[in-house]
Structure 1
Amino acid sequence: MKRESLTAALFILLALGLSAAAAQGCCAPILIPPARSTQVPPSGERGVLNTQVSLTYGKTLTLDTYRGQPLVLAVFSTTCPSCVSELKALARLQAAGTKVLLVSGQDTLPDLVRFAQNQRLPFPVGRVAPQFIAQLKILAYPTVVVLDARGRAVTRQQGTADVQSLQNTLAGLRTTQGR
């Protein structure tokens, strides 16, 4: 009986997590809904710049390539409707001069190649190790992490991206960087 109660409780928690994820426009389940946009302590993501990204066009880069400029790192899955729906907003950010990198730790590289070709995206798409996703403490897709010019994660948005908030964060980074 005790085991059945525990199983029922876990199913309830999972259902609540799925409901919370859906309410935020997320595709992956979470058990405790985080704040929509959160500040990330600068020391929280050491080693991020060493992360290798296998790009869909056959090259490999590290996030260190983007050192010296802010980067919008969008973590997604090709099977996530919310992730796909925010691609136009990310393309607008790229068109306005912001570097955008779309990464997945879940999809295979051939799946990402097909996805990038079908979507005709204006920014690079690549695969990262699932451990990188865990290192960033990403609990749901889509999640957007803004990295400053030194590669430190300064903010994170879980669920469909709030473009105005991202633009405000990026403007603040550019102002600070210009000093």
Structure 2
Amino acid sequence: MPFSTDATWPKDLLTIFDIYRHHDDSDELPENRYYGPYNKLLNYCFSDFIAPHQHFGDLTLSDTVDVIVFLIVFDANCRPVLFAEVKDDAWNTRPDFRLSADEQMRQRYDTMLSKCLIPRLWGLSLLGTSLRVYCGGVATNSIEPGFEDSQSPDHNQPRFDKMKEIVGDILAHST
């Protein structure tokens, strides 16, 4: 079923995240562990949009070490409507890492907010599978929320409901 009519995350998508979250292969690059599941999730949510793999042109070398996966969802005119920055699970265990993740998200907004043509640019900060949702107001050049010291825990239904809200908002303003 399509995301627009689903009431919960599809079982196969949840299975993919469970497998990758618990898969411990020390020889595997962390980006290989996260890119597939998050790319599948964004393509499930945004079937008519594109979410190509991104390069880190606007980050310093020290920033790129911290980012495992960076995805942007573009509209049909190649303008950003949502971006996701994924870091390893270990980032959720230390307040200084969470603060650094928050600062990097705000730097992304500095780069991309003016390129968004709908009222809001959504951002997802994912520390492993812990989530913080950001919303950048294009007209006001503002970003919410302010810094908070913890990410949302893994609760599938509230996260699904929030993604439904985000996707609905993007689709409503992209037509």
What TM-score do you get using the length of structure 1 for normalisation?
0.29
Structure showing greater radius of gyration is 1
What TM-score do you get using the length of structure 2 for normalisation?
0.29
